Amino acid sequence: MAIIKPMVRSNICLNAHPVGCAKETERQIEFVKAKKAERGIKGAKEGGNGPKFVLVLGCSTGYGLASRISAAFEYEADTIGVSFEKEPTEKKGGTPGWYNNMAFDRAAKKAGLISETFNADAFSHETRKLIIEEAKKLGRKFDLVVYSLASPVRSDPDKIDPNSADGNHILYKSVLKPIGKTYSGYGIDILTDSLKESAAEPATEDEIANTVKVMGGEDWELWINQLSEAGVLAEGCRTVAYSYIGPELSHAIYRDGSIGQAKKHLEATALNLNKKLSSELNGGAWVSVNKGLVTRSSAVIPIISLYLSILFKVMKAKGNHEGCIEQMERLFAERLYTGENSAAGVVPVDSENLIRVDDWEMQDDIQAEVDKIMPTVTNENIKELCDLDGYKHDFYATNGFDVEGVDYNIEIEDMTKIDF
């Protein structure tokens, strides 16, 4: 038995609270249920024309989890999810995603929905085969495939490492680095509520290439091609992957950095998949550019944590701040399923064929206000100019801490359970 407190090292939370993760997942579910009623959306059982059988790759946290929740609890879609999580033991905790998946599966099944979650390497052909077999066993075809994988590493499914004595596959590692020159700036130290300067060295050519292999569109295309060849994509099937562009001040580390090169590859892949799906199934493929939010990676990127804490304060004052679940609910209801009775309507895109649900973040007045505040922040005025409380809440809540309705002084007897 133990009282679980957050363990933070170098602005990364290393543990998770089982009950807190479950409560946060349930909060997102309740939000979507309320939006369903507010919008008057009919689910599948009520004769709605929205998604009915959805595959979410990277289903356990962030935008992937929020996508699965939106599909299931706004449109009553049956879902299959794939993520790779560390399983807990009675005494040792698992990853946040493990508990999120448990809470989602429990709520979905209680609602009478099919919910199958596979703890597996989504980059492998074996996992693709497993999902295809599951779809065929259920006699179903996917009408939406969400690609939301954000892994630091990817094992090449087709290439064996020549230097491996055990015949292991080549492993690619992604990096979040600038290209050409060092990038430095101030971020927020989560433990001291103060500014902390950090720097990122430029990526090598190999690091850039490896990052594209991990975070680009190659694996997404493999998934869609193999699902299509197996005959488990429905007529009109749509697929969406996620990206971020952000303000110019972050472009050197993100949009024009190693990750940005991967995201540009992802966007080019979307164009290819869109041609394929539109010609073969009258479907489509898009990349949705989403709002900047607190993630494990954003907390350690120079400038990003400071930018986000200011952005949150400005957007909350304007009344248009969103988290993961608000973003994905709006993506589904106002971008992907805008047709009659929530059918797949015409998707509004920009000149690059990108869906933009970062539109509120990137409004001129929002960005002008952030630009005005950024250079004036000091350790003396940081609490006044930044939304430190909101930023820290999001940082901790992604790991199940600082979640409303959870008594963090209660000892946890079994780390495999999501109830006290």
Q: At what angle do helices 364-373 and 304-318 cross, to 10 degrees?
A: 130
| Gap between the Cα atoms of 3 and 256, Å rounded | 43
DSSP summary character for residue 252 = T
Q: Are 23 and 406 in contact (CB under 8 A)?
A: yes
SS3 (DSSP) at 13: strand
Distance CA 401, CA 3 (A): 12
SS3 23: helix
Cβ contact 59:72 at 8 Å: no
Alpha-helical runs (H) found in 287-417? 304-318, 324-331, 364-373, 382-385, 388-397
- From the list 254, 307, 337, 391, the catalytic residue is 254
Alpha-carbon gap, residue 75 to 33, rounded angstroms: 10
Give catalytic status of residue 254 as yes or no.
Answer: yes
Strand locations in 135-218 (E): 142-147, 153-160, 169-173, 183-189, 194-200
Q: How far apart are CA 286 and CA 278, in angstroms?
A: 11
Pairing state between β 78-83 and 53-57: parallel
- CA 396 to CA 400: how far, in whole Å? 7
b (16+ CB within 10 A) / e for 278-297 = eeebebbbbbbbbbbbbbbe
What is the end-to-end Cα distance of the chain in Å, rounded? 12
Q: How many residues does the structure list for the chain? A: 420
Active-site residue set: 254
